[in-house]
Homo-oligomer: A and B are copies of this chain.
Amino acid sequence: MLSNQLHNGLETAKLLWSRIPNSEDGEVDGGSLLRNSNRNTVESLDYEVIENYAYREEQAQRGKLYVGYYVAVKWFLALLTGIGTGLAAVFINISVENFAGWKFALTFSIIQRSYFAGFVIYVLINLILVFSSVYIVTHFAPAAAGSGIPEIKGYLNGLDIHGILLFRTLIGKIFGSIGSVGGGLALGKEGPLVHTGACIASLLGQGGSSKYHLSSRWLQVFKSDRDRRDLVTCGCAAGVAAAFRAPVGGVLFALEEVTSWWRSQLMWRVFFTSAIVAVVVRTAMGWCKSGKCGHFGSGGFIIWDTSDGQEDYSFEELLPMAVIGVIGGLLGALFNQLTFHITYWRRNYLHKKGNRVKIIEACLISVITSAISFGLPLLRKCNPCPESDHDSGIECPRPPGMYGNYVNFYCGKDKEYNDLATIFFNTQDDAIRNLFSAKTIHEFSAQSLLTFLVMFYTLAVVTFGTAVPAGQFVPGIMIGSTYGRLVGMFVVNFYKNLNVEEGTYALLGAASFLGGSMRMTVSLCVIMVEITNNLKLLPLIMLVLLISKAVGDAFNEGFYEQQARLKGIALLESRPKYQMRNMMAKEVCRNQKVVSFPRIVKVADAVSILQSNLHNGFPVIDHVRNGETLVIGLVLRSHLLVLLQSKVDFQHSPLPCDPAGVSKSIRHNFSEFVKPVSSKGISIEDIHLSSDDLEMYIDLAPVLNPSPYVVPEDMSLTKVYNLFRQLGLRHIFVVPRASRVVGMITREDLLIEDSEDPASVELHSTSVRGHRQYSMISRNVDVERPLLNGLLLQDHMLG
């Protein structure tokens, strides 16, 4: 009788545990995760999905309809993420193009009369745009500064950095990047768009933002961090797909660069999201074609069509291409190193002085950038236009108010152009289009390209790290295509008989710099192909990327990894560290004092344990007969805090909770255990208990995870690492070696035929079961469980 009741009690335990969403929060425990800064803002997420049978049992009871609804919501949210990200990208692009278009149109019209007045207006407009951006970021959404990709990478690796996925961050990112990109700074809008996509996905995944009353109960079906993570992955892909109009590149970027765990089922959904983005963006651009979007025209999205460029390449060209790869690796590694040091200095000295310094810094950089981009072309002599070639459709000088090559700027005659102004005094998109352009051999002089390379490289290094949203893709393409075009010029002069286009080399240079800095491979390759709409150069891009990545890797880590490290985002890499080969599991936890809970804990004890340390998870150990103990599960700090705060589970007796009250013991709604992303959750200091409360007891059985993963104490740490990393765990118990083996599980044991009919399973496992509803009870009766027997006996003794 009593035993049956206890069975029920423990089953309830599992049942409730399973209903508690798998989100863990609170302070980082014990370790020295963050040596630099912001210790309190980084939390760990738990991506392992607790799939114990009770959870599934319950899901099954809720019916197929619910599962279908759940799947439908997943796809619907992916759809919404795609649409949202696509619209955000369109909005950003239209705004940026219009601001930049007005700016250049106004400046060009004023310099007809006075270059000085034009300069002042140009500087002022840029300053206003940059100021608005930095003001929004510093005063409203501090987490919107920078690229955001390292933070998203950290989130998908299992770290929740405070604030990165909030609604205000989304708003700050969108408007901030309009200001910073429209203001002509040496940065791009692609990283911010990835962050934007991730924010949209995360907000959708948690059913809106409760703070701004934008939440919907109807969408709050995602209970686990894993579902949210999957949606955020979709959001990242959508961001890239929207930024570059490269849907396949987006999928690969999410796969290669951002996610830490990847399931093939997810690929399908990510692919879908990217396709939606492609459709949304294309529709919007079609709508804008009729001139409804102001200055936003063909120049909006970064598509640099080079499909009319070089058709073929010869073997002699492989050498200069390899040179480009090496240059890309060197300059990319240097870029990473310089930005690393400057960002380090900024974080630790400059930006500690407050928001005013951040604003002044950004405004100063804006003025310098404006001055250089306006002033340097003034110093450059104009070149006469080349003999016009009507077939190519390229006019020289370009008509006023249009996009195109051959900008007439501070030139004496009408038929002249300023090659430095063509790239410098222009939007970055147009500059890249000019650098990539074919049939414009000898448009740029080596001197102009070198000047631009040095100046822009310096500006990009200095600008990254200011408190504005900043992407590194477009600046990287600018830098790379400049030296690529430079190499191309030499190739054209040297191999005179080849049909070489300088634009091809500019493209390869862009690929090489991005490869040398960001160290991506397949995704970058596909993105480059998609944005240039030219498949013929694919093998060459691959070659250049291989070389530049290899050269870069010889010096330092990739750009995002370095930035993540600076920000205290400690990523768990997919490969275990070298030192782990020589270590055992128990060595890493030797200094730890294992703090464990008994099954029935006094409230006062629980509070003092929680106050005495920062651990996030505690083993629950129960005493059985002859003083022996048994590990019955893992309880999380966050769940304990919920129990302590709500007080409904407090009981007067130190006995297991009333077995008759199986249904009563599930007193909590799921959502009480769900914590929104990027929030801090409850802290032990927030909980106030009376002295009566402190004298009461809590039965932890209903909230514990009954089977966390375990490893033997002398297992090699590399094996432990693989287990931890591959399954996305957060806690592993290190236990002594077992005394016996109950069974062996091999491949064949896990090859259960999928069928709706439970009879086949029973055939396989030969377990005696009744209907699904009664399977738990019958299993308990049927299966010999040392754990339960132990608890049983203890219970008898207590009784």
Residues of A within 8 A of B (CB): 28-33, 44, 50-53, 55-57, 59-60, 158, 247-248, 251-252, 255-256, 262-265, 267-268, 271-272, 274-275, 278-279, 282, 307, 521-522, 525-526, 529-530, 533, 535-536, 538-539, 542-543, 546, 549, 570, 572, 574-592, 594, 596, 615-617, 619, 621, 628-632, 706-707, 709-727, 730-755, 758, 761, 764-767, 772, 775, 779, 783, 785-787
Which residues from chain B contact A265 at a C-beta distance below 8 Å?
574-575
A522 touches B251 (CB 8 A): yes
Measured between alpha carbons, how far is A275 from B544 in the docked complex, in Å?
Answer: 11
Q: Copies of this chain, how many?
A: 2
Taking a contact as CB atoms closer than 8 A, the residue among B256, B522, B538, B572 that contacts A278 in the complex is: B538
Q: Is the CB of B741 within 8 A of A734?
A: yes
Contact B730 A727 (CB under 8 A): no
User: Are B738 and A736 closer than 8 Å at their CB atoms?
Assistant: yes
Partner of A748, one of B32, B60, B581: B32
| A629 and chain B: residue at smallest CB distance | B739
Q: Is the CB of B572 within 8 A of A616?
A: no
B706 touches A714 (CB 8 A): yes
Q: What's the least CB distance linking A712 to chain B, in Å?
A: 5
Question: Which chain B residues border A619 with CB–CB below 8 Å?
Answer: 741, 744
Bound Cα distance A44, B748 (Å): 10
- Looking at the complex, which one of B521, B591, B717, B742 makes contact with A735 (CB distance below 8 Å)? B742
A38 → chain B closest CB, angstroms: 15
Given the known interface contacts A264-B256, A589-B743, the answer about A28 and B748 at a Cβ–Cβ threshold of 8 Å is yes
Nearest chain-B residue to A535 (Cβ)? B533
Residues of B within 8 A of A264 (CB): 256, 574
The one of B52, B256, B591, B723 in contact with A727, judged by C-beta atoms closer than 8 angstroms, is B723
- What are the residues of chain B within 8 A of A755 when measuring CB–CB? 579
Asked if residues B714 and A581 are in contact (CB atoms below 8 Å), the reply is no
Q: Of all chain B residues, which has the CB nearest A578?
A: B754
Instruction: Say whether B33 contacts A748, CB under 8 Å.
Output: yes
How far is B529's CA from A530's CA once the two chains are assembled, in angstroms? 11
Shortest C-beta distance, A36 to chain B (Å), equals 13
Quick check: B60 and A581 within 8 Å, CB to CB? yes
Which chain B residue lies CB-closest to A743? B589
Distance, CA A59 to CA B709, complexed state (A): 29
Q: Which residue of B lies closest to A632 (CB)?
A: B737
Which residue of B is nearest A713, CB measured?
Answer: B742
Collect the chain B residues with CB atoms within 8 Å of residue A585's CB.
Answer: 743, 745
A750's partner among B572, B738, B746, B786 (CB-CB below 8 A) is: B572
Contact B584 A53 (CB under 8 A): yes
**Residue numbers in B under 8 Å from A758 (CB-CB):** 579
List the B side residues contacting A158 at CB < 8 Å: 747
Give complex CA distance A267, B415 in Å: 51
Could you tell me if A44 and B734 are in contact, using CB atoms closer than 8 angstroms?
no
| 19 new A-B contacts at CB < 8 Å, known A594-B743, A724-B747, A726-B726 | A30-B748, A51-B576, A51-B718, A51-B722, A57-B581, A60-B582, A247-B539, A272-B546, A278-B539, A577-B754, A582-B772, A584-B783, A585-B743, A588-B743, A588-B745, A710-B712, A730-B747, A733-B738, A735-B741
Contact of A29 among B262, B579, B720, B746 (CB under 8 A): B746
Minimum-distance CB pairs A-B, first 9: A31-B748, A56-B581, A589-B743, A735-B738, A51-B718, A275-B542, A707-B715, A52-B716, A734-B743
Are B745 and A711 closer than 8 Å at their CB atoms? yes
A765 neighbours in B (Cβ, 8 Å): 583, 587-588, 590
| Contact between chains at A583 and B53 (CB < 8 Å) | yes
A631 CA / B590 CA spacing, docked (Å): 23
- Asked if A745 and B734 make an inter-chain contact with CB atoms under 8 angstroms apart, the answer reads yes
In the docked arrangement, what's the CA distance between A799 and B785, Å? 38
